Amino acid sequence: MTQHTSDSTTASNQKVALAFSGGLDTTVCVPLLKEEYGYDEVIGVTVDVGQPKAEFAEAEETAEALGLEHYVVDAKEEFAELCLDSVKANATYQGYPLGTAMARPVIAKAILSVAEEQGCTGIAHGCTGKGNDQLRFEAVWRDSSLEVIAPVRELGLTRKWEKEYADEKGLPVEGGNEGDWSIDTNLWSRSVEGKNLEDPSYIPPEDIYEWTDAPTGETTTIEITFENGYPVAVDGESYEPVELIEYLNEFAGAYGVGRTDMMEDRMLGLKVRENYEHPAATVLLEAHEGLEQLVFTKEERDFKPQVENQWAQKAYEGLVDAPLMKSLDAYIDQSQTKVTGTVTVKLQGGMVRVVSRESDFAVYSESAASFNTETVDGIEQEDATGVAKYHGFQSRLANSVAKQAETEPELPADD
């Protein structure tokens, strides 16, 4: 373990707020914040972004065993709204619907509020120095006057050292999160990584999946209603954001929908193998894009992916408050004023496919597309003749010029 060089080692009567999950990393941080950083008091904060109930029980129990003052903040609604905003942006990062990424700033802000309310002078997380989360947390926290502390990274801790230290100190680290995989779950996605899953050639066993059943031959359809790009109803029934996501996770997960096994380029440049489950995200993203296909002009369809790509990049970086994001959101919101309608998707073999879409804003004219009508808005079929004559004109010209140059005899060399 390397000695850190924090200027707070001399702090007295100082309080620090710790992002607390009750797992090994954050549990060892509790005594270390006192021993190594000189804080007198540590408070733990767990933010609810839709983790399973068992995780809160684990955090509660561990906090109690540690004698840690523990706060739980419910941020599910705020997070669900951000997730549905990401649908308007058709946002994925390299194919990943950004669940962990989008949750981090929400969690970071909630912890910062508690820290400020409780008069803390420091704020800490248990992230390592290899991942994205340290950057996402700190991007929010470094905008405050609190001392930002990352004990695991700053003290160079390893899991092995943490286990020995916990044993030595008699810290409550039994049970929870000691399984084979490192898992991060929230409303939008469940991420599974670590151990042999890190090997890109290792085929994941079926038991890493909890939200999705192995796809079978069974199929079904489901209808999603959007208002201004925002999903508001499923099969004609209205849902609030949290409930809508929960319902779709369960419904589509039963059909094996929403598994991603991918190579992911982290912010620090590391390429890692990741596995995700996100049934609701898959259904909503597919359906939403299907509706945009109907109501957007070609120019809008060509342009929006550029905005979406930037949106997803910033969301991946945890920079949802970047000024660029506000500009992108303004474009996206404007574009969504006609993304109202219903889309039916078919769930089949673990896949989602749009099979029907309807909207009052459809840029679609049956008479224009049909083979059975002669004129459209006073335009006759034969009016296309001129266009057809011009089409490809420049290519034909360029090719013939090139051909001529090839066949022309070379000029005699000057001497």
Catalytic option among 21, 25, 86, 136: 25
Among 91, 101, 173, 295, binds ligand ARG (CB under 6 A): 101
Contact 235, 222 (CB under 8 A): yes
* Tally of CA atoms within 13 A in the half-sphere of 307 that contains its CB: 21
Specify the residue, 83 or 354, whose C-beta has the smaller distance to ligand ARG: 83
Please, what is the minimum distance in Å from the beta carbon of residue 263 to ligand ARG?
A: 11
Q: Which of 85, 86, 104, 259 is labelled catalytic?
A: 104
In the complex, least distance from residue 30 CB atom to ligand ARG, rounded to whole angstroms: 20
Of residues 33 and 101, the one with the C-beta less far from ligand ARG: 101
Active-site residue, selected from the candidate residues 86, 133, 273, 335: 133
φ, ψ dihedrals at 376, nearest 5°: -125, 120
x-or-dash string of contact with ligand ARG, 174-213, rule CB under 6 A = --------xxx------x-x--------------------
Active site residue 235: no
User: Residue 229 or residue 258: which is nearer to ligand ARG going by CB?
Assistant: 258
Exactly one of 6, 8, 113, 182 is catalytic; name it: 182
- Both tokens of 399, joined, read 């090719």
Report 333-362 residues binding ligand ARG (CB under 6 A). none
Q: Give, rounded to a whole angstrom, the gap between the first and last alpha carbons of the chain.
A: 78
Report yes or no: 162 and 24 within 8 Å, Cβ to Cβ.
Answer: yes
Active site residue 333: no
Question: In the annotation, is 133 catalytic?
Answer: yes
When asked if residue 138 is in the footprint of ligand ARG (CB under 6 A), the reply is no
- Name the residue among 54, 48, 15 with its Cα closest to residue 34: 15
Residues 142, 144, 147, 148, CA torsion sign: negative
Verify binding: residue 317, ligand ARG, rule CB under 6 A. Answer: no
281 contacts ligand ARG (rule: CB under 6 A) = no
Minimum Å distance from CB 271 to ligand ARG? 11
CA distance 136 to 134: 6
Site for ligand ARG in 106-135 (CB under 6 A): 132
By CB under 6 A, name the one of 27, 90, 100, 212 that touches ligand ARG.
100
- Alpha-carbon distance 248 to 280, whole Å? 5
* 3-class secondary-structure state, position 122: strand
Query: How does DSSP assign 214-237, residue by residue?
Result: PP-S-EEEEEEEEETTEEEEETTE
CA distance 105 to 79: 9
Nearer to ligand ARG, 191 or 282 (CB): 191
360 catalytic residue (yes or no):
no
Contact at 8 Å (CB) between 234 and 252?
A: no
User: Applying CB under 6 A, which residues contact ligand ARG?
Assistant: 100-101, 132, 182-184, 191, 193, 264, 274
Residues with catalytic annotation? Answer: 25, 104, 133, 182
